[in-house]
Amino acid sequence: MSEDYGHWDTSLVGNFNPDDHLGFVYQITHKKSGKSYIGCKHLWKFKKRKRINASEWRYYYSSGKYLKPEIEELGPEAFTFVILMLCKNKRDLYYNEEKIQMELGVLESDNYYNAHVGGRRFYRPVSSYDDEFKFTMREAATGIGNGRYRGSFYILYDNGMEILVEDQTVKEWCDENGYNHTGLYRLRGGRQKSYKNIIAMEYASERD
């Protein structure tokens, strides 16, 4: 029985078994304009670092701020969906997504829908957006690195317990729980393997 890949073109990677991979880097392109989006998608959902079930990757349309509304308006038949690369672990998945985005210069060209590279680390110049979105981007860009990011994120402890923090800044949560947000970001950036009893921090958006 052949594997069901949904709407994804797998000609670049060939046939594959989803059980053997964590996720993939993809390109979605508007057929008429040629405008594209580069992103990544997990093949599986995880809980406490354990694979629990398959994600809805076969008919995933991206969560891109500008791409998703166009797909909803024009319909998926107006776009091509191509898997560029398969990855076996999270480190490779995020590295290759960012590498391809940077090599293609997605932030410097109007031929891409991408608003940022690597989740929330690098952004298009503020001048690329309207006034309303400029404020949003400034807040996000200054909030991530100094603890003022407000949103949902996961904290994984060395005893295997995982919690989801919602509607708090990283700094607020750290202050309330006896941590320093700088230490948490050093952990997230790979500059240390653990911080006190915490071994990982992930933004909820990274698990889409």
Q: Per CATH, the architecture of 150-207 is what?
A: Orthogonal Bundle (1.10)
Query: How far is residue 167 CA from its own chain's centroid?
Result: 19
Residue 32, CA atoms < 13 Å, CB-side half-sphere: 7
Span(s) in the chain for CATH 1.10.10: 150-207
pLDDT in tens, 182-191: 788 778 777 7
- pLDDT tops 70 at residue 76: yes
Q: Find the range with the poorest average confidence among 56-70, 104-118, 121-135.
A: 121-135
Span(s) in the chain for CATH 3.40.1440.10: 18-144
Run of H or E residues at 23: strand 23-30
Euclidean distance between CA atoms 87 and 42, whole angstroms? 9
| Residues 184, 198 contacting (CB under 8 angstroms) | yes
Cα separations (Å) of 73 from 29, 70, 77, 78? 15, 5, 11, 10
The answer to pTM > 0.85 is: no
CATH 3.40.1440.10 given to domain 18-144:
yes
pLDDT in tens, 131-170: 434 433 433 444 444 455 667 888 989 888 889 888 888 8
pLDDT in tens, 35-46: 999 999 988 876
pLDDT at 90: 84
Residue 7's region, left for phi above 0, alpha for psi from -120 to 50, else beta, is alpha
Run of H or E residues at 46: strand 44-47
| Residues 91, 40 contacting (CB under 8 angstroms) | no
* Tokens 């402890």 sit on residue: 157
Supply angle C-alpha 28, 208, 128, rounded to 5.
55
- pLDDT tops 90 at residue 8: yes
- pLDDT tops 60 at residue 20: yes
Residue 142's CB: how many other CB atoms inside 10 A? 11
